[in-house]
Structure 1
Amino acid sequence: MKAIVWWYRMGLICGLGSTILVWGNEEAPLDRQQVSSLRTNDAPGEEGTCIDKHECLSIELTNWFKKMAVERKSDEILCQDHNLIQEETSSKTGGITEDEVKPIFEVTDCKMEGATWKYRYQGAKGKNRIFHGKGKLSFTKHSSPPHGYDFGMKTGRCLLVDADIESIEGWFIEGIVQGEAEITYFDGRQHKVTVNSGVMAGLVREFGDEMDPITGRPKLEKRLYGLKFMHRGQPHSIHWELRDNEVKVLRDQDQNQLLVVVPNNQTWMYLYGPLDDDDMMLQARQAKLTHIIYRNCLAIPQFEPFGETFDYDLQILGKTKATVAKLIRFFEIAANEKEKLDTRFQVDPDPVDLSNAEILFRLNGDPSQKPFLSVTTLDGPSKAIFEGGQRGSVLTGQGVMKIVSEYRRKDVMPLASNSSEETDTQNATTTTMPSNELQIEAYLNEMLTYDALPFRLGHVKKIQSIHGHFSSGVLNGLAKVSFTDGTVWEGLTKEGVWHGVVRYLERPFTKGRRKRFIGRIVEDVILSGSTMSKDDQIAEVEFFGTYKNGYINGPGWKFQIGGSFLFGDFQRSSTFTTNEGAYINQDLETGYVGSFQEGKMMAGQVAPVIGHTIQNGVAVPTFGPAHGPVYRFVAPSDTTDELTDPLVADSTEEIWVYVKASQVSAKAGEGLFAKKEIPSNTVVSFFGGLRMSFNEWNSTKPIDPEYWIKVNDKEVIYLPSEFGRDTSKYRATLGHKINHSFSAWNCMFHAMDHPRFGTIPAVRTTEKVEPDQELLCLYEIQYHEGAPWFQELWRQELDYDIPIGPFGHRGNKSSPGEPMPVMLSNGTFFQEFYQHAIEVLKLDPQT
């Protein structure tokens, strides 16, 4: 009886025949007066009150978690208010046999396989130096253990223990852990456990490091990450999983979640539904607490689901569409720009066909004979330095091969009196060259590698270095090929060729200048695990896909300008050419499926994205039935005769917008309006038309046409007035219908790769737009570039006749005698002038 009472006070399980004693209170909901005693100052609601039973129970559960999170509290205190009840062992534990009992460690003979002698013991000892009393066992992973980690060798008592455990601290009785103990793991996790005869049997609280956002270092106090109950060393019944973003997941012992608790406006929302491996709740419903059961030192909320079903993303803590969110999750992993290629991707297990492969480089000659390697890369014959690893008759180990340029150091000195001076045209300096082959060989190391050059040869596409693991002079595993223009190929190699997932990264830009897909960011934290600030130089991923034998083979993605994507399933291709391709819009819900040649859509129809599968680690989208007209890429043109399919409407615009008389003013003409509610950051329209180089545009008189926009510093897109005003003549895109506002704008133009028209301006909302609300953009042009109405509005709203305003300067007027720029020959103003000159003034068009 005394033993039973002692174990009761320690909060442990005691085996009594076929039953066990466990903590529990079958049903103990609190009333309003009881809850008021539990309320804390930071609990939601008014002090001492709660609105209904659900809120009262939510407060009760919140305070229970706070109590469990106090690291220094003992299990005896945490469980002292619970009653003992009896449960059949077989009904709750699955009938755990003696062979299935899992102790924390076992003392064994040192000849036993897996036993370790490399540990240290600090604390009280009994006879024969056995652990007895308060003490601590510490383990090491070093092959040559530090001083003191030889207790097993000295005593002849080796241990069988989990290789991830760094230390075990607690009370020992004759070499066996008993009572409360603390287990620390090499990865920083810490478990506060209750132990019976060396076996975890009771409450287990899992703590871990919490990073300080200011210092970037772990906080002194560890954070609670899990709560579970153990029986005979095995998880028993339900357990709680607590995450960094305050999400709490209640699971059963088969890892099926029972309830998910998420933060929601300084309170909690309870969700019920299946949770997949992507942290996505599919067809979830909200839940209302009915009461709380306390069993085995754990709180088990009882609830009733209610309301409509929805998908919920536990990473961004919001309702979502699972098909979209899962694709975003894949793209975030693929575009993890600040880190190496994710370790989840593996080299293709199929053998390499070297007779039909594109090899990254070949060694020419014996690498052990000369300071420089003679190699042939994808660029052709070259010379290289090998750094790192081992160098002998073969190259071995992790290293980098730096390609040597044709540039020489500027400080090469004369070696012999008969040396002749010659001009190094590439360095633009005079250097003295060695006079014989031995001296030339001795001064080969005076040649510069590309990364040591004062400049990078402009933007010539030439290999700068090859970094990876070399085995007998051949690349195997993760490799990175850097080019002189700052771009990078990174991927998995086998026998010297790309053979697995490969990605191509553009040269780095700051976050504000990026133009392709950007992962969801919450307080500058990319959810794939990387952090970045607006000033970081980050490389954008342009291509991500599967290679085999050095060629694109299998699923591949091209990250387009503006946030859209091209997908293809390729068979030994070196370009983006496939009959099984797709262009997927920025919303990741719709796209065009069909054939593509070198990245251009030859024929495609609209189809919805309904999901995706994973093939060799790469997402493969699945689509619903294709429908509607067949769309195709239109080559850029600068004449109205070449406006191909001007009356074929854009599929995205068909969903979101329509044209009617503008509400800005009577003079504004037509405007663009929302068909339905449009979320912020949604692409809804495009500005297509005729193209003209920026230099050519500047040489014309820009008073006609009235519909024009700069794509970038090199190109302008415009529509003659007769097409821009009349949707019966042109409605392939409708972005030109958007009116301007200096203050009330709700959208903006940015460049985007369009499947029909190439890179053109797209209209993206900057806030939520209500149904039938007019879309207004800020025209990002200078004062002197605008039409008279634009200049007048500028003077009224911005600078009040001050020449320099916040949006730029007004420009300079033409000087007397300066030649007048020609007008656009396809503009309305020019056509009227030309007609007047011929018919009224009777001028000869030839002169």
Structure 2
Amino acid sequence: MVKKELSEKEQIAKELEQWVRKMRCTGSTGIKLDNFTDIKIGADKSPVDKNSKTFEVFSFEDLKDFVKRTSEQSFQEIQLDNGDLISGNFVNGLRHGYCEILIQDPVKSVVSIRGEYINGYLNGKARVFFEDRCWLEGYFKTGILHGFTRKFDKKGRLTFVGSYQNGKPVGVCWRIKRGGGSIVGRVVDGEFSGCRIAYIYPDFLTALVGVFEKGELIKAQEAEVQSIIDGEQGVKIPVFGRPKGPFHFREIGTFDKICTVGKSAEITQNSLVGQLDLTLKDPYESKTIEIKKSNIPGAAEGIFVIKDVEPNTVLAFYNGSRANPQEFDPTTWETNNYKIFDPSNIPAGTIDIPVWAQATKSYCCTLAHKCNHSFLPNSEFVVYDHPKFGVIPCIITIADIFKGEEVFVGYGYDLEDSPDWYQHAWKDSIFAKEGVSYKDWMECNVKRPLGIRANK
């Protein structure tokens, strides 16, 4: 795809995207955050309250009977009666230098600590691993987390970037959500709560700015990133334009409704207009796709990109009601056309688009349900944590798609139980004609089979 010259806003968004990408580097692929000379991080320069929360599990008293006291630095390996292992450098009976701690019976959910010690206390960069296999990397002073910090989930995915003081997050922090979005704002008592909190979409330009409570959207309006401030400890602070337009609210689908009110007890009836409007389009999705007559013979509507997009670009979201299992009718595809996996309730959950909502004039908050099938897909379904609709499927590209081209995914039906049109399409596909087995095609092209879907 030919690279075009970026606008000023796009350049700012690109800078944020590159920064987050660097934040994801852990060294597992050979690239560490330390490799980037433009990233200035470290411990906070303010004094530490030694009574603050600490991850340390061993006091000096716990180790005094096991350590050899020498005035020169020496490597020692200590195994306690319960199996806990401490290995590293010691001076005068105190940990001094790089040390590792392995804990058999987790204390404070901590199973391992690896980092630099000075006179018995963590000082400098260290990693703390937890019982749930999540972990953090941060800067410590006298045993207290006090500086730049990153957190990762059990799969090594970045979940948090920010600064800590006295064991608590402070200032503007980032919470990285599944699918590529981020919650950004000044934390209060360690939580993303209050006004002027933002959810930034994966383009690092489009945002919902407003009121959040413990990281959950209460009400917000659309805005765009206008500039960036380099905060303390290396944390990027996005500056937004004035929020405008209708309010967006947290709206999670249920068995009988495609959208329901979230935490809105204090929201007035007049301010619910945006929430009750099922044609209020997602601000990000409206910049990526549009609905037009499909190019597939016999199909109705389809999704088309409104700009050139590269691989790994999120295009559209699949919100809907949660299908009631008691109403499932496997004998007819007409009642199952829009059913798809519910990633918030794997493996039993199903998301559906009710009959009344299948026309875009009735419902267009999200439009991924209008995407058609191809055995040569240019996109696929993955999981996305949406600020309004929670954990739902989304469409992400797997190839370059040029402005005006239609978007396709591979549905991945069970071939024997699929509708007639799907079986005919497989027989006419280049893969079937070349003798490729359907199973092999599935393994190469469909990450998440839909199971229950049909062309629109």
> How many residue pairs are counted as aligned between the two chains?
400
8 Å contact from structure 1 (residues 705, 720) kept in 2: no
How far 1:346 moved relative to its partner? 1.6
2:44 aligns with one of 345, 348, 351: 348
**% same residue:** 26
- In the alignment, is the contact (CA less than 8 A) between 2:252 and 2:260 conserved in 1? no
1:12-68 per-residue CA deviation (whole Å, 9 max, x = no partner) reads xxxxxxxxxxxxxxxxxxxxxxxxxxxxxxxxxxxxxxxxxxxxxxxxxxxxxxxxx
**Structure 2 residue 321 is matched with structure 1 residue 690:** yes
Q: Which amino acid aligns with 2:112?
A: S
Matched, 1:594 2:228: no
Question: Gapped runs of 5+ residues in structure 1?
Answer: 1-264, 266-308, 313-318, 375-381, 406-449, 451-459, 509-538, 810-823, 825-847
1:211-222 pair list within 5 angstroms: none
Provide, for residues 414-465 of structure 1, a one-character-per-residue CA deviation record: whole Å limited to 9, x for no partner: xxxxxxxxxxxxxxxxxxxxxxxxxxxxxxxxxxxx8xxxxxxxxx993221
Q: Is the 8 A contact 1:337 1:541 kept in 2?
A: no
Return the alpha-carbon distance in structure 2 between the equivalents of residues 362 and 746 of structure 1.
Answer: 51
Q: How much does 1:641 deviate?
A: 6.8
Question: CA offsets per residue over residues 473-517 of structure 1, 9 Å max, x none?
Answer: 221111111224432211101121111111112234xxxxxxxxx
Matching residue of 1:359: 54
CA RMSD of aligned residues (A): 3.5
Distance 2:198 2:326 in 1: 34
**Does the 8 A contact of 1:479 with 1:490 survive in 2?**
yes
| Greater gyration radius | 1
What SS does the aligned partner of 2:13 have? helix
Q: Is the 8 A contact 1:565 1:584 kept in 2?
A: yes
Q: 1:325 matched to which residue of 2? A: 14
TM-score by length of 1: 0.43
Change over 3 Å in CA distance of 1:383–1:577 after alignment to 2: farther
Tell me the distance in 2 between the aligned counterparts of 1:749 and 1:686: 9
The amino acid across from 1:656 in the alignment is T
Relative to 1, partners in 2 of residues 1:677 and 1:325: Cα closer, same or farther, differing over 3 Å? closer
Residues 781 and 567 of structure 1, relative CA distance in 2, 3 Å threshold: farther
Query: Closer, same or farther in 2 for the Cα pair 1:474/1:802, shift >3 Å?
Result: closer
User: Structure with the greater relative contact order (CA < 8 A, sep ≥ 6): 1 or 2?
Assistant: 2
How many Å separate the matches in 2 of 1:488 and 1:582? 25
> What's 1:742 paired with?
375
Q: Which residue of 2 aligns with 1:787?
A: 419
Shift of 1:794: 2.3
Q: CA deviation at 1:597?
A: 2.2
Aligned with residue 356 of structure 2, among 722, 731, 739: 722
- 1:552-631 equivalences under 5 Å are 552-573=169-190, 575-616=191-232, 617-631=234-248
Instruction: Kindly state the Cα deviation for residue 373 of structure 1 after the two structures are TM-superposed.
Output: 8.6
**Deviation digits for residues 553-608 of structure 1 (CA, Å, limit 9, x no counterpart):** 012112222222221211331x4434332111111121111222232211111111
Quote how far apart the aligned CAs of 1:796 are.
Answer: 3.3
Separation in 1, partners of 2:174, 2:126: 20
Change (3 A) 1:664 1:585: same
- 1:402 corresponding residue in structure 2: 102
Alpha-carbon contact 2:186-2:192 (below 8 Å) kept: no
Query: Which residue, out of 369, 379, 390, partners 2:90?
Result: 390
The 2-side partners of 1:501 and 1:699 are apart by 51
Task: Tell me how far 1:698 sits from its aligned partner.
Answer: 12
Shift of 1:359: 1.5
In structure 2, distance between residues paired with 1:328 and 1:732? 26
Q: Partner amino acid for 1:654?
A: S
- Aligned partners of 2:316 and 2:258: how far apart in 1? 24
1:628-650 deviation line (CA, Å, top 9, x unaligned)? 11112223422237556433221
Structure 1 residue 392: Cα displacement: 5.3
Tell me if structure 1 keeps the 8 A contact 2:185–2:192.
yes
1:507 match: secondary structure: coil
The separation in 2 between residues aligned to 1:719 and 1:776, in whole angstroms, is: 19
The one-letter amino acid of 1:762's match is: C
Corresponding residue to 1:701 among 330, 339, 347:
330
Tell me the residue number matched to 1:239. none
Aligned residue for 1:640, secondary structure, equals coil
Deviation at 1:685, TM superposition (A): 1.6
Structure 1 pair 643–349 and aligned structure 2 pair: CA distance change class (3 A) = closer
1:677 aligns with 307
Q: SS of the counterpart of 2:255?
A: coil
Give, in angstroms, the shift of residue 659 of structure 1: 2.5
Specify the code of the residue in structure 2 equivalent to 1:602: I
Listed as ranges, the gaps of 5+ residues in structure 2 are 68-77, 262-275, 444-451
Q: Aligned match of 2:147 in 495, 500, 507?
A: 500
- Going from structure 1 to structure 2, the CA distance change for 1:771 and 1:802 (only over 3 Å counts) comes to closer
In terms of fraction of residues, the more strand-rich structure is 1
Letter in 1 for 2:225: V
